[in-house]
Amino acid sequence: MIVGVFRDHLPRVTLDLPARGQSLAVEFILDTGFDGYLAVPSRLLSRLEASPLYDTLRRLGDGSLVECPAYELELQWGDEIQTVEF
């Protein structure tokens, strides 16, 4: 079971992500419609053991399209190892 906190009107969980040679605790805002995708800043991505997958088009809030790389990462989610794409 994953336990989180509710702070600043948002649900949050801390996940231990595999980083280069260590584990890195990162707090995330939990989207109640979570479908397996994470969004991480590039400064965090550079520290993770993430594998590049492909480039994809993403639509931004203003309607514009940008090309972004997609990555995958295996992480501990509760009692299971999950592969997530971000």
**41 is in which domain, residue-wise?**
4-85
What is the per-residue pLDDT for 34?
Answer: 63
Number of domains in the chain: 1
* pTM score over 0.85: no
Kindly give the pairing relationship between strand 65-77 and strand 51-59.
antiparallel
Host H or E run for residue 42: helix 42-45
Measure the CA angle with vertex 86, ends 29 and 24; round to 5°: 60
What is the per-residue pLDDT for 65?
Answer: 94
Local confidence band at 1 (pLDDT 50, 70, 90 cut-offs):
low
Quick: pLDDT tens for 27-79: 988 877 766 566 788 898 889 988 889 998 988 889 999 998 999 888 877 78
Host H or E run for residue 45: helix 42-45
Q: In Å, how far from its chain's centre is CA 74?
A: 10
